[in-house]
Amino acid sequence: MANGKRILVLVADAGFGHRSAANAVAAALQETHGHECAVEVVNPLADKRVPALLQSSQADYDRIVRNVPDLFKIGYQVSDASVPSAVVESALTVMLFEVMRDLVRRYQPDAIVTTYPLYQAPLGAVYAISRRYVPLLNVVTDLVTVHRLWFHSAADLCLVPTAQVRDLAVAYGLASSKVQITGIPVYPALVQETRPPAGVRAELGWQPDLTTALAVGSKRVGHLPGVLQVLNHSGFSLQLAIVAGGDDELYRQLQCTEWHTVAHLYNYVTNIPTLMHAADWIICKAGGLIVSEALACGLPLLLVDVLPGQETGNAGYVIGGGAGERAENPIAALEIVYHWLERGGALLAERAANARRLGRPRAAYDVAERAWAAAERGPRTRTSHAILGRPKLIELLNRHGVPWRRRAH
């Protein structure tokens, strides 16, 4: 690999989606170009030099969006304005400059892919100071409602999931030539599974010929137990496969339930693609990743939770595309499932066809090919006088005591 290309993929652990998208891209790169490139997936926020404010933001994400969703929504909307976003980008540059500079120096990447919006401004600062520009690809992981911080001029390509986000990126100032629609990367296993659902169900030990709903929970899914309760007492001929998503309390609750329908219970799994291919529809929240995975599998979505902010757009995309519905409460979920199953499941089949139409199962491969092409082009160097804003950037770093000269070249 001494003569191979090096691709650095930057993630964060605020929710599952950013890392899952990054891992999907890395897996696609290894599958298609593994013999000629090395891929590293790194979370810069894990560096001990990162201020506690940013480190804790990953762990606090679940607590904030669940316990004070209105506050999260207000903060999201306020920070999406142009002036607050510029202030945030300056702060991120000060807080992350050294970490980003040292990551670039350590890994010497030929290209960088990021699935988290906070890294572009500090990376752009590292490039300007060092005068060495590594190709940067920014992968947006929400379907419609996207924060302004995702769109930054430091990226060579902004890879977006939908036409709505493409238009938003252009409206926020990115050149249209920099914005391309790929979808949100989902794990290649979603593409590789080609067996009919009955065969996958048989392998899992489920009843092969029984209509199957996959329910995916976690600490971020607050309304799932009530929906499962009404389905358990509905009398519908179906089986439930329920994943607690590592929520031990929910898993204990499921184990203590008296099930009147066939139920398969899991706490945490690593084979979600397999479970999705075994199901006829999915019950979940409106997270960008799980929505993208479900659409890639052609699974109709029964959305039981929508967090304020970006998930509102995700839900609207699913519902507007006819690929699913939102249940505001358990009784609404019961009504939706009834209509899906009546008349031989005609509406369920229609929802599945729409999901397949919206899905982009090869998104990870499309991102991987762009990353590989960027790595083949490799870094480029620019002279100092050609870099607009460099003096102000140096002034910002000096003012806050950031040692930009050290190891900057």
DSSP 282-343: EEEE--HHHHHHHHHTT--EEEEE--SSHHHHHHHHHHHTTSEEE-SSHHHHHHHHHHHHHH
pLDDT at 237: 93
Taking the C-alpha atoms of residue 323 and residue 349, their distance in angstroms, rounded to an integer, is 10
Taking the C-alpha atoms of residue 203 and residue 205, their distance in angstroms, rounded to an integer, is 5
Residues 6+ apart with CB under 8 A from 101: 126, 129, 130, 404, 407, 408
Residues 6+ apart with CB under 8 A from 50: 44, 95, 96, 99
pLDDT at 171: 94
Taking the C-alpha atoms of residue 337 and residue 351, their distance in angstroms, rounded to an integer, is 12
Structure token digits, residue 209: 């010929």
pLDDT digits (tens, 9 = 90+) for 89-102: 888 888 898 999 99
pLDDT at 149: 86
In CATH terms, is domain 5-186+362-399 a member of 3.40.50.2000?
yes
The helix (run of H) or strand (run of E) holding residue 38 is strand 37-42
Question: Which of the residues in the chain have pLDDT under 50?
Answer: 1, 59-62, 64-65, 67-68, 70-84, 407-409
- Rg of the chain taking only CA atoms, in angstroms: 22
Torsion of CA 292, 217, 242, 347, to 10 degrees: -50
Residues 6+ apart with CB under 8 A from 170: 176, 179
pLDDT at 3: 64
The model carries a pTM of 0.84
Taken in order 57, 62, 64, 70, the sign of the CA dihedral is positive
pLDDT at 390: 75
- Within the chain, which residue ranges are assigned CATH 3.40.50.2000? 5-186+362-399, 189-358
pLDDT at 79: 45
Q: What's the farthest any 2 CA atoms get from each other in the chain?
A: 73
- For 189-358, the fitting CATH number among 3.40.50.2000, 3.50.7.10, 3.40.30.10, 2.60.40.10 is 3.40.50.2000
